[in-house]
């Protein structure tokens, strides 16, 4: 749906549907009871930008109990020293809830939420350039009878567009104070801060309600909606002067951007740039992180005496931390592009352009960017699903994100393709090894689309979630919003995933290190560890798909990250070369002489599907607020991996490649 009449003006900040951050909360003083205020407003009205301006670093975020909707709260200290606890409610267009976010907002402001007391003050944040849309929610909120104040955000943009708002008349019509703000400017909340220190804010009173407002609040009927629209129109005529809107510039750009041919080509070029940047720009930073972690590990190993503690710190804690940190540059570069595309107004248009194509398999156009992000790493891809408002579409996107071929698979693919696929041309143009790698990428994409299509057939409600998009005006992104957004995402990754990865890495270190090998053995020590024993048990299960005990052992530490399997195989084969590249150079000829082509092909197919990445499962657990969906994901992906590898191995054996 192209909602062109509800565009955000040039220069305004578009916030994602849900942005998670973990920012240390400043401990407020306890000299007086703080005021509990809640920010209520439409999506894209600049409410979250105003919240960030008011609270700064004095904010914290957590999910509401039992749901994935995020609870964002911060502390405000006014110039006169008044303390205000500010709650940023999920954006909503109406208090007649349809989504999970809207239900949370409705329950809090109506006092029906089990664990959240209703606010003492409702701050209704509106987009001053789109008051017709925003005033509907203001009138619904006024009918609740809570003390409230209306904030005309983006008031500078409204003036630039020639919109004149008579605040006195608007205040009289609504029966509540009306203030101005500019959420993206450092001094943009001065009127609100001054009002909070005034006598009126210390003697809060509920707005006077008439019978019409009470009727509108109690009944979501056609007559009630009509009365609501009529009142909005009357208020606008009395208090707001809006000049004719000139959309010629945006229309000319949209003629290209939304064109089925040129728009698609522009989108592909944009995505190609983003895709290349994630790999090429991040590589030096990733190498620097790996080198730094390696240096720290070597230094700790040199100053500590040999023993269990040194092994734990070097091979468990430091190595586990490095495995997490190495992906941070890719995540930040990826989200830099996403934030720029979103703040510029382009991202909703990309989703609009692709919605019809992706709708054939039950996905939304909003799923495209998260799935594309998963080619770098499924973790930022899953994080990016927060921009999908429909929980059903978001969950489906999360569940198929690991099927995209992430960069962690490349070391395994490179090892097996170099060892088993001859370096020869096909048709005098294409390289056979390159074609095999391309086929693996296509296989992951096709599998993801097939899973989405099956999920669409399986669900009882086969109706598509309509794509309700607001196409904002094109504008330059806000540098402040970009920096804050990247800062938030870095904290999300490090704090929410890092702890789990670190714990798992330590567990895997223990499994691969104990019990130690008996004296005088010639096999790799890992063969006698708990991981080796598990590998021996797994060999019985994995033998039908052509895997030997060495592969089974490598899959155990490979659960930390897929690329670890290369090093694990090297350890199993008792190689002593340092570094993955040197190890792979020796390991390739060795496995080529001891494995069959059927086994190699089976293992390649296994890595297309198998969810061998603890960080992905940890992020799914965080995003879905429980272990149910990570377990479902693990089961179905391992099932697909086993079935696909079984078919591949048996067909290859039948062709004489076994």
Q: CATH no. for residue 53?
A: 3.40.50.300
Mean of pLDDT over the chain: 78
Q: Give the model confidence (pLDDT) of 508-523 as tens digits.
A: 677 777 888 787 777 7
Element (H, E) at 87: strand 83-88
Residue 88 in this model has a pLDDT that exceeds 70: yes
Is 52 labeled as ligand-binding?
A: yes
Is 90 labeled as ligand-binding?
A: yes
Is 548 labeled as ligand-binding?
A: no
Tell me, what's the pLDDT at 246?
Answer: 66
Is 69 labeled as ligand-binding?
A: yes
Is 45 labeled as ligand-binding?
A: yes
Tell me, what's the pLDDT at 541?
Answer: 92
Nearest-10 crossing angle of helices 347-359, 262-280: 110
Categorize the per-residue pLDDT at 469 as very low, low, confident or very high, splitting at 50, 70 and 90.
low
Is 41 labeled as ligand-binding?
A: yes
Boundary-marking domain end, from 220, 245, 270: 245
Is 2 labeled as ligand-binding?
A: no
Residue 262 lies in a domain: no
Residue 467 lies in a domain: no
Collapsing DSSP to helix, strand or coil, 407 comes out as helix
% of the chain residues with pLDDT over 90: 21
Residue 153 in this model has a pLDDT that exceeds 60: yes
Is 485 labeled as ligand-binding?
A: no
**Average pLDDT of the segment spanning 444-459:** 88
Residue 269 lies in a domain: no
Boundary-marking domain end, from 204, 224, 245: 245
Question: What domain range includes position 235?
Answer: 2-245
Boundary-marking domain end, from 245, 262, 289: 245
Q: Cα Rg for the chain, rounded, in angstroms?
A: 28
Residue 357 lies in a domain: no
| Count of C-beta atoms within a 10 Å radius of residue 296 | 15
The answer to whether the CB of 441 falls within 8 A of the CB of 397 is no
Residue 213 in this model has a pLDDT that exceeds 90: no
Is 46 labeled as ligand-binding?
A: yes
Residue 288 lies in a domain: no
Is 70 labeled as ligand-binding?
A: yes
- Torsions phi, psi for 182 (to 5 deg): -135, 95
- 205-214, 250-259, 504-513: which range is least confident on average? 205-214
Categorize the per-residue pLDDT at 16 as very low, low, confident or very high, splitting at 50, 70 and 90.
very low
The answer to whether the CB of 332 falls within 8 A of the CB of 490 is yes
Is 154 labeled as ligand-binding?
A: yes
Is 431 labeled as ligand-binding?
A: no
Residue 341 in this model has a pLDDT that exceeds 90: no
Calculate the CA 19 to chain-centre distance.
Answer: 8
Element (H, E) at 362: none
Is 88 labeled as ligand-binding?
A: yes
Categorize the per-residue pLDDT at 176 as very low, low, confident or very high, splitting at 50, 70 and 90.
very high
Residue 285 in this model has a pLDDT that exceeds 60: yes
Tell me, what's the pLDDT at 403?
Answer: 93
Select the more confidently predicted residue: 351 or 126: 126
Residue 383 lies in a domain: no
Tell me, what's the pLDDT at 166?
Answer: 93
Torsion of Cα atoms, 368 then 371 then 373 then 376, to 10°: -150
Is 175 labeled as ligand-binding?
A: no
Element (H, E) at 57: none
Is 460 labeled as ligand-binding?
A: no
List b or e across 308-325, with b for residues whose CB sees 16 or more CB atoms inside 10 angstroms: eeebebbbbbbbbbbbbb
Is 287 labeled as ligand-binding?
A: no
Residue 304 lies in a domain: no
Length reported for the chain: 658
Task: Identify whether 371 is preceded by a cis peptide bond (ω within 30 of 0).
Answer: no
- Residues 6+ positions from 53 with CB-CB distance below 8 Å: 183, 184, 185, 186, 188, 189
Is 67 labeled as ligand-binding?
A: yes
Categorize the per-residue pLDDT at 218 as very low, low, confident or very high, splitting at 50, 70 and 90.
very low
Is 48 labeled as ligand-binding?
A: yes
Number of structural domains (the chain) is 2
3-state SS, one letter per residue, for 542-605: HHHHCCCHHHHHHHCHHHCCCCHHHHHHHHHCCCCCCCHHHHHHHHHHHHHHHCCHHHHHHHHH
Residue 349 lies in a domain: no
The answer to whether the CB of 74 falls within 8 A of the CB of 86 is yes
User: What letter does residue 40 receive in the DSSP assignment?
Assistant: E
């Amino acid at each position: 749906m192209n909602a062109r009449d509800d565009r955000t003006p040039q220069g305004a900040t578009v916030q994602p549907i849900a942005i998670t951050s973990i920012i240390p909360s400043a401990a407020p003083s306890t000299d007086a009871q703080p005021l509990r205020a809640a920010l209520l407003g439409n999506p894209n009205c600049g409410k979250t930008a105003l919240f960030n301006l008011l609270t700064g670093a004095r904010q914290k975020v957590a999910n509401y109990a039992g749901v994935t909707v995020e609870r964002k709260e911060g502390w405000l200290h006014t110039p006169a020293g008044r303390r205000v606890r500010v709650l940023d409610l999920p954006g909503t267009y109406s208090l007649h809830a349809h989504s999970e976010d809207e239900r949370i907002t409705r329950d809090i402001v109506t006092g029906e939420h089990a664990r959240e007391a209703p606010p003492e003050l409702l701050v209704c944040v509106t987009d001053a350039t789109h008051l017709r849309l925003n005033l509907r929610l203001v009138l619904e909120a006024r009918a609740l009878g809570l003390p409230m104040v209306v904030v005309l955000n983006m008031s500078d943009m409204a003036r630039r567009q020639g919109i004149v708002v008579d605040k006195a008349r608007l205040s009289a019509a609504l029966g509540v104070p009306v203030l101005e703000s500019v959420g993206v400017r450092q001094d943009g909340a001065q009127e609100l801060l001054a009002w909070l220190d005034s006598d009126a804010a210390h003697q809060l009173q509920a707005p006077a309600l008439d019978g019409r407002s009470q009727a509108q609040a109690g009944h979501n009927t056609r007559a009630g909606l009509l009365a609501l629209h009529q009142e909005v129109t009357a208020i606008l005529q009395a208090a707001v002067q809006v000049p004719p809107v000139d959309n010629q510039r945006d229309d000319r750009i949209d003629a290209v951007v939304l064109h089925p041919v040129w728009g698609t080509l522009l989108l592909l070029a944009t995505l190609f740039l983003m895709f290349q940047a994630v790999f090429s720009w991040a590589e030096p930073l990733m190498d620097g992180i790996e080198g730094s972690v390696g240096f720290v590990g070597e230094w700790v190993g040199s100053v500590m005496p040999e023993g269990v503690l040194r092994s734990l710190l070097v091979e468990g804690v430091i190595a586990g931390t490095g495995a997490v940190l190495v992906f941070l540059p890719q995540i930040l570069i990826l989200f830099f592009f996403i934030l720029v595309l979103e703040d510029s107004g382009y991202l909703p248009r990309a989703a609009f352009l692709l919605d019809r194509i992706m709708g054939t398999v039950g996905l939304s156009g909003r799923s495209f960017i998260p799935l594309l992000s998963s080619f770098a790493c499924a973790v930022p891809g899953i994080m990016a699903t927060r921009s999908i408002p429909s929980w059903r579409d978001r969950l489906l996107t999360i569940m198929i994100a690991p099927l995209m071929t992430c960069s962690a698979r490349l070391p395994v693919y490179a090892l097996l393709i170099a060892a088993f696929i001859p370096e020869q041309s096909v048709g005098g143009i294409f390289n056979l090894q390159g074609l095999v790698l391309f086929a693996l990428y296509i296989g992951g994409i096709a599998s993801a689309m097939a899973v989405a299509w099956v999920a669409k057939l399986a669900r009882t409600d086969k109706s598509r979630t309509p794509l309700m998009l607001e196409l904002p005006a094109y504008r330059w992104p806000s540098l402040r919003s970009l920096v804050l957004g990247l800062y938030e995402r870095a904290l999300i990754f490090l704090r929410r995933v890092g702890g789990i990865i670190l714990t798992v890495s330590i567990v895997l270190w223990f499994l691969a290190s104990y019990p130690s090998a008996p004296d005088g053995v010639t096999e790799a020590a890992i063969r006698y560890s708990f991981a080796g024993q598990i590998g021996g048990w797994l060999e019985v299960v994995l033998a039908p798909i052509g895997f030997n005990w060495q592969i089974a052992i490598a899959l155990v530490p490979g659960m930390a990250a897929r690329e670890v399997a290369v090093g694990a195989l090297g350890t199993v084969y008792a190689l002593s070369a340092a570094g993955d590249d040197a190890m792979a150079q020796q390991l390739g000829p060795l496995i080529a002489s001891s494995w069959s082509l059927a086994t190699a092909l089976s293992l390649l197919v296994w890595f297309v599907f198998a969810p061998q990445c603890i960080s992905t499962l940890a992020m799914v657990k965080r995003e879905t607020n429980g272990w149910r969906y990570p377990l479902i994901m693990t089961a179905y992906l391992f099932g697909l991996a086993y079935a696909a590898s079984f078919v591949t191995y048996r067909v290859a054996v039948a062709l004489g490649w076994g």
